[in-house]
């Protein structure tokens, strides 16, 4: 029998906001233990939660970015459990009336090659609700320590339908979700800092059937690659069990990304009964049209929309857009340069960014924000090439100077005397010499092999010390060759 995998994800995303979700104390990462706390976070007797509207703004924004319906009214519930990561012995969350309902995440599956866009697919969401994050426990041989800095950080839980079909889809889902959250400024989604965390629910069923199989939940998947690897591993494990007549039991398993193995944490029998009930300390929230409209106005273009626009408006090849789009700053940088350089030079700008700028940034181990080359610089450089002031080869040298010092390209060209000052007669002579001195290439070209012309360009560029305008060299060579005898 053939089986297919069915996967549903539960993704936790911390929302950026100055303060915690139900109190004024700040949120953050890497602070001394238990310094981001106050009586509310520590649940001291007599404290009461007060809702932070910015946290709701963030989740409404997430909902709008992900095509969800925003509930008119949502409410807060207590999820009761006894564990030291929550000093209240309950977590404030949203149970049966979440703020965002439905929606979807559009994903791109890997294409046939890197240069070709893959198939797009919509992964339906069940809901997104808001809750408070809990503290962090560190276990030692004989005791455990708890840090409540994370407790009370606004946390969105994004739940998908059981609708993903492979580990690759889960990988694509998380990649797009992350980019979308970063685009909208909702979260930085740094998985190392726990800002994005994912549990994966996995089952298998015979192909052609619709009933869901018994699910296994994988926890502690702390990178997007581990999510993919963990799911692939779990699907294999379940298929192997079926093959040998074993039974898949509903359980939670811990996946070790380094070892590539998983082990059972708890089975269904040990599942909690959370005794949810509405939190009497917090009022339900009504989200009116004006509130939604205010947030909608703050929503940026979605990453795939921007990609489509770059391809249509700027005629950028898919390959370049797939370098620019995942990084909002980089794609904005590109647009800033194109705005100055003009639409016609968009491809050139894109190429310089995707090749030279990114390579130099990575070699210098710095980010875009620290780049001494600015959008106006790149626009200027591309302009200098376009009007024939400098060749591409010289432009590379100018780029490197600007990258190192921040000196404007035109200034570098002036200071170093890099302007193409070849006069037409001189160039023509160099071309004649190149044709006369390359019998083989000349005969090949005259025999119909167009590419052979390139072998004659090298000596000309060399004679001009790289300054000659390649377009002009090409034209001159062709003109002379046409009448060569
Ligand atoms: N049989 C299944 N196979 C794969 N995924 C499933 C299956 N059943 C549910 N899921 C997925 O598991 C996730 C959560 O499922 P469910 O609503 O059952 O919550 P739960 O895991 O029981 O509770 P909790 O919210 O406490 O984790 C969803 O993403 C859903 O799509
Ligand atoms: Mg679950
Ligand atoms: Mg939850």
Rounded to the nearest angstrom, the distance between the alpha carbon of 66 and the centre of ligand 3 is 19
Dist. CA 177–CA 172, nearest whole Å:
8
- How much is the pLDDT for 220? 80
Q: Which residues pair with 69 in a beta bridge?
A: 101
What's the CA gap between 359 and 416, in Å, rounded?
24
- Strands 216-221, 196-206: parallel, antiparallel or unpaired by DSSP? antiparallel
Q: Is 161 in the pocket of ligand 1 (CB under 6 A)?
A: yes
Asked if 164 contacts 232 with a C-beta cutoff of 8 angstroms, the reply is no
- Give the residues across from 79 on adjacent strands: 91
Q: Which ligand is nearest to the CA of 218?
A: 2
Quote the tokens at residue 96.
């049966």
What's the residue count for the chain? 485
Q: Which residues, other chains included, contact 95 with Cβ-Cβ below 8 Å and sequence gap of 6+?
A: 77, 79, 276
Q: In this predicted structure, what is the pLDDT of residue 8?
A: 98
Residue 166's closest CA among 128, 126, 118?
A: 118
ipTM for this model: 0.95
In this prediction, residue 469 carries a pLDDT of 83
CA distance 202 to 249: 11
Q: Is the CB of 9 under 6 A from ligand 1?
A: yes
Rounded Cα distance, 105 and 393, in Å: 44
CA of 244 from ligand 3 middle (Å) equals: 35
* Location of structure tokens 């591409």: 392
pTM: 0.89
What pLDDT, on a 0 to 100 scale, did the predictor assign at position 92? 98
The residues of the chain scoring below 50 in pLDDT are none
pLDDT tens-digit series, residues 319-337: 999 999 999 999 999 999 9
Q: Distance from the CA of 158 to the center of ligand 2, in angstroms?
A: 11
159 C-beta closer than 6 A to ligand 1:
yes
- Which neighbouring-strand residues pair with 72? none
- The one-character DSSP state at 483 is T
User: What is the DSSP pairing of strand 3-14 with strand 100-101?
Assistant: unpaired
H-helix or E-strand spanning residue 263:
strand 261-267
Task: Point out which residues pair with 74 in neighbouring strands.
Answer: 285
Tell me whether residue 213 is exposed, middle or buried, using C-beta atoms within 10 angstroms of its C-beta: 0 to 12, 13 to 18, 19 or more.
buried
Other C-beta atoms closer than 10 Å to the C-beta of 411 total: 14
- Determine if ligand 1 sits within 6 Å of the CB of residue 4: no
CA of 233 to the centre of ligand 2 (A): 19
Q: Which of 3, 6, 8, 160 to mutate to test the pocket of ligand 1 (most atoms within 8 A of CB)?
A: 8
Residue nearest to atom 13 of ligand 1 (CA): 8
Ligand nearest 219 Cα, by number? 2
Is 215 a pocket residue for ligand 1 (Cβ < 6 Å)?
Answer: yes
Q: Measuring from atom 28 of ligand 1, which residue has the nearest CA? A: 8
- The whole-number pLDDT of residue 418 equals 85
Query: Residue 472: in which H helix or E strand, if any?
Result: helix 470-482
Kindly state the tokens that stand for 423.
Answer: 């006069």
**Residue-level pLDDT at 424:** 83
């Amino acid at each position: 029998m053939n089986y297919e995998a069915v996967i549903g994800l539960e993704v936790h995303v911390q929302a950026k906001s100055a303060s915690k979700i139900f109190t004024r104390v700040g949120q953050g990462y890497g602070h001394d233990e238990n310094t981001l706390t106050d009586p509310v976070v520590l649940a001291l007797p007599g404290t009461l939660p007060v809702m932070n509207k910015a946290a709701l703004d963030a989740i409404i924004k997430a909902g709008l970015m992900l095509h969800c319906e925003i509930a008119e009214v949502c409410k807060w519930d207590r999820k009761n459990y006894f564990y030291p990561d929550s000093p209240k012995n309950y977590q404030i969350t949203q149970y049966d009336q979440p703020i965002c309902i439905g929606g979807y995440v559009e994903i791109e599956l890997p294409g046939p090659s890197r240069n070709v866009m893959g198939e797009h697919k919509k992964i339906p969401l069940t809901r997104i609700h808001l809750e408070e994050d809990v503290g962090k426990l560190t276990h030692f041989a004989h005791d455990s320590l708890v840090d409540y800095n994370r407790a009370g950080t606004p946390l969105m839980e994004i739940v998908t339908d059981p609708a993903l079909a492979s580990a690759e889809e889960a990988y694509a889902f998380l990649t797009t979700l992350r980019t979308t959250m970063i685009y909208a400024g909702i979260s930085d989604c740094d998985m190392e800092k726990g800002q994005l965390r994912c549990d994966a629910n996995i089952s298998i069923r015979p192909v052609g059937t619709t009933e869901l199989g018994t699910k296994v939940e994988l926890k502690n998947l702390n990178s997007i690659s581990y999510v993919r690897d963990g799911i692939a591993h779990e699907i294999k494990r379940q298929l192997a069990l079926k093959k040998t007549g074993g039974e898949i039991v509903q359980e939670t398993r811990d996946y070790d990304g380094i070892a590539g193995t998983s082990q059972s944490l708890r089975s269904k029998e040990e599942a909690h009964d959370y005794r949810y009930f509405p939190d009497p300390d917090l009022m339900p929230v009504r989200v009116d049209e004006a509130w939604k409209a205010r947030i909608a106005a703050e929503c940026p273009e979605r990453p795939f929309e921007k990609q489509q626009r770059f391809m249509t408006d700027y005629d950028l090849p898919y390959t370049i857009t797939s370098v620019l789009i995942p990084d909002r700053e980089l794609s904005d940088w590109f647009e800033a340069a194109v705005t100055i350089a003009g639409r016609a030079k968009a491809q050139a700008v894109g190429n310089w960014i995707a090749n030279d700028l990114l390579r130099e940034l990575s070699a210098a181990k710095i980010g875009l924000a620290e780049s001494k080359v600015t959008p106006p610089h790149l626009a200027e450089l591309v302009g200098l090439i376009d009007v024939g002031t400098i060749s591409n080869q010289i432009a590379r040298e100018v780029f490197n100077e600007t990258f190192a010092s921040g000196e404007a390209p035109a200034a570098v060209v002036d200071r170093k005397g890099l302007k193409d000052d070849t006069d037409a007669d001189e160039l023509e002579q160099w071309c004649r010499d190149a044709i006369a001195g390359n019998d083989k290439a000349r005969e090949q070209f005259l025999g119909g092999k167009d590419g052979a012309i390139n072998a004659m360009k090298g000596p000309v560029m060399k004679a001009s010390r790289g300054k000659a305008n390649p377009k002009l060299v090409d034209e001159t060579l062709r003109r002379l060759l046409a009448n060569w005898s």
